[in-house]
């Protein structure tokens, strides 16, 4: 059998050599053939140069540099499209996902699971705000998006069988969470637990704006609840309007004056705010539909390092 390890990398020039040594130490003790597919998401540092040097030293290392920064999920999709193994493991290049976890993933896979999640039992070196945002995101995925098997502490380090990798290749969506999509796909899934370690070198490029985009992408891709909520809010506001109209009518019958300007302005501001929020929600859905309809490539490969796949060229998105 052959195992592919797929790693999206952004500003990981200092981490990749350490990760290679740890991967080699683990994989060489296993009775498998293996390859490491590293996708540089157009890093501003020498990440691709490090990938090229590693591929010169070891033919099991292959790499690609994307033509611009397409995001980690596009880099993962590119790596999976280039992978040749009977199974593929997606793991970050910052060494927060320890390579020493690979044997446990493979054991579950050999037992028959087609997708094996490495679930975080603990996260080291993370700020309280990062942990709180993570818990909120995975709560939304379980209770709003309907992916009830999503772990509370999250999981973005996982193994996919070749059947699942090929099935994943049929999806061409651009604005979607890969973790959520893989969970939605089904197949026979299992999980193990591990401790997510602190980042070895550098700082994470996972900014607040990217986190917010991930939440919006996940909600619009897997849930119609926001649109249903808009309908419910509309019904509620209309009901309040009818009740207020009834109050005005009754007050007029008993000759009691109803203040006009303040109540009118409150109603106007509340309704205007709700309408703008609803238009924004509709705009998010419409923009994603428009973005998908243009059918632009999900990624473009600028350069490649190491052996090319059997097609003789790196995969394009």
Q: pLDDT at position 4, please?
A: 92
Q: Beta 87-90 vs 115-123: how paired, if at all?
A: unpaired
How far is 207 from 11, CA to CA, in rounded Å?
A: 14
> What is the three-class DSSP state of 40?
strand
**CA-to-CA distance for 268 and 77, rounded, in angstroms?**
47
Rg (CA), the chain: 25
Please count the other Cβ atoms lying within 10 Å of the Cβ belonging to residue 45: 14
**Tens of pLDDT, residue by residue, the chain (317 residues):** 889 999 998 888 888 898 899 888 888 888 888 999 999 988 888 888 989 989 888 888 999 899 888 888 888 888 888 888 899 999 888 888 888 888 888 988 888 889 888 887 766 656 666 666 667 766 767 666 666 666 666 667 889 899 988 888 888 777 677 777 888 888 888 888 877 766 566 565 556 666 676 666 666 666 667 777 777 777 777 677 667 767 767 766 776 655 665 667 667 767 777 777 777 777 777 766 766 666 777 778 888 887 766 665 667 66
What pLDDT shows up at residue 306?
A: 77
Contact 200, 124 (CB under 8 A): no
**pTM higher than 0.85:** no
Please enumerate in sequence order all residues whose Cβ is within 8 A of that of 228, keeping only pairs 6 or more positions apart, or say none: none
> Quick one: tokens of 273?
């705010």
CATH class, range 2-205+296-305: alpha beta
Q: Going edge to edge, which strands form the sheet with 87-90?
A: 189-196, 115-123, 157-161, 87-90, 2-9, 33-40, 61-66, 301-305
C-alpha closest to that of 165 among 91, 75, 86? 86
Query: Residue 36 has what pLDDT?
Result: 92
């Amino acid at each position: 059998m052959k195992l592919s390890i797929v790693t999206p990398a952004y500003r990981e020039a200092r981490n990749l050599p350490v990760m290679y040594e740890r991967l080699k130490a683990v994989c060489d003790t296993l009775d498998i053939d293996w390859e490491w597919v590293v996708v540089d998401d157009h890093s501003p540092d020498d990440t691709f140069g490090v990938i090229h040097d590693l591929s010169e030293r070891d033919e099991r290392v292959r790499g690609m540099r994307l033509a611009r920064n397409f995001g980690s999920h596009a880099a993962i999709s590119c790596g999976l499209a280039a992978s040749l193994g009977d199974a593929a493991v997606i793991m970050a290049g910052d060494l927060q996902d320890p390579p020493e976890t690979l044997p446990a993933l493979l054991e579950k896979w050999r037992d028959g699971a087609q997708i094996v999640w490495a679930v975080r039992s603990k996260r080291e070196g993370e700020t309280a705000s990062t942990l709180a945002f993570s818990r909120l995101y995975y709560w939304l995925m379980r209770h709003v998006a309907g992916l009830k098997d999503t772990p509370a502490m999250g999981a973005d380090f996982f193994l996919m069988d070749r059947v699942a990798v090929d099935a994943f290749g049929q999806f061409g969506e651009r604005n979607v969470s890969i973790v959520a999509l893989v969970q939605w796909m089904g197949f026979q899934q299992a999980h193990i637990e591990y401790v997510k370690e602190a980042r070895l070198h550098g700082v994470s490029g996972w900014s607040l704006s990217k986190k917010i985009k991930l939440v919006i992408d996940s909600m619009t891709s897997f849930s119609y609840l926001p649109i249903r909520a808009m309908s419910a809010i509309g019904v509620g506001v209309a009901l309040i309007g009818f009740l207020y109209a009834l109050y005005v009518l009754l007050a007029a019958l008993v000759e009691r004056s109803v203040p006009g300007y303040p109540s009118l302005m409150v109603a106007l501001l509340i309704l205007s705010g709700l309408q703008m929020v609803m238009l924004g929600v509709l705009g998010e859905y419409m923009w994603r539909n428009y973005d998908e309809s243009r059918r632009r490539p999900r990624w473009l490969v600028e350069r490649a390092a190491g052996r090319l796949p059997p097609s003789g060229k790196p995969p394009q998105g």
